[in-house]
Amino acid sequence: MKKLSFFDWEIHLQDDLMAVTDTIMKRMVILEGALELTGMIWIDEHNEMQIKPTWDCVISINVKDMILTIQHSSNVFSNKE
């Protein structure tokens, strides 16, 4: 897993995913392979995390520690890391 910072949150991404962050717009685009869009997260005007996945994934949110983890569902259900 890759660990990234996104404002006050720690983001854990599956190793084959890439992230591009726009700090002005408070958005992170998540890409895979040949720049295929796989999701986007952003902080809205109420300072709340918003998530828009575009593929079959599992998103785990640890509010206490402010950690968001994103993985392909096939990895989660087959016990892959």
pLDDT confidence tier of residue 80, bands split at 50, 70 and 90: low
Element (H, E) at 60: strand 57-62
Tokens of residue 33, six digits: 């392979």
Dihedral sign of CA atoms 17, 52, 60, 77 in order = negative
pTM beyond 0.85, yes or no: no
- Look-up: residue for tokens 């992230």? 19
Burial (Cβ within 10 Å: 0-12, 13-18, ≥19) of residue 11: buried
Average pLDDT, integer, range 66-81:
80
Q: What is the CA radius of gyration of the chain?
A: 12
Q: Where are the domains of the chain?
A: 2-77
> Are β-strands 9-13 and 49-53 bridged in parallel, bridged antiparallel, or unpaired?
unpaired
Structure token pair of residue 45 = 């005007």
Report pLDDT digits (tens) over 16-53.
899 999 999 999 999 887 667 778 899 999 999 999 88
- Please tell me the predicted confidence (pLDDT) of residue 34: 66
pLDDT at 35: 66
- Average pLDDT of the chain? 88
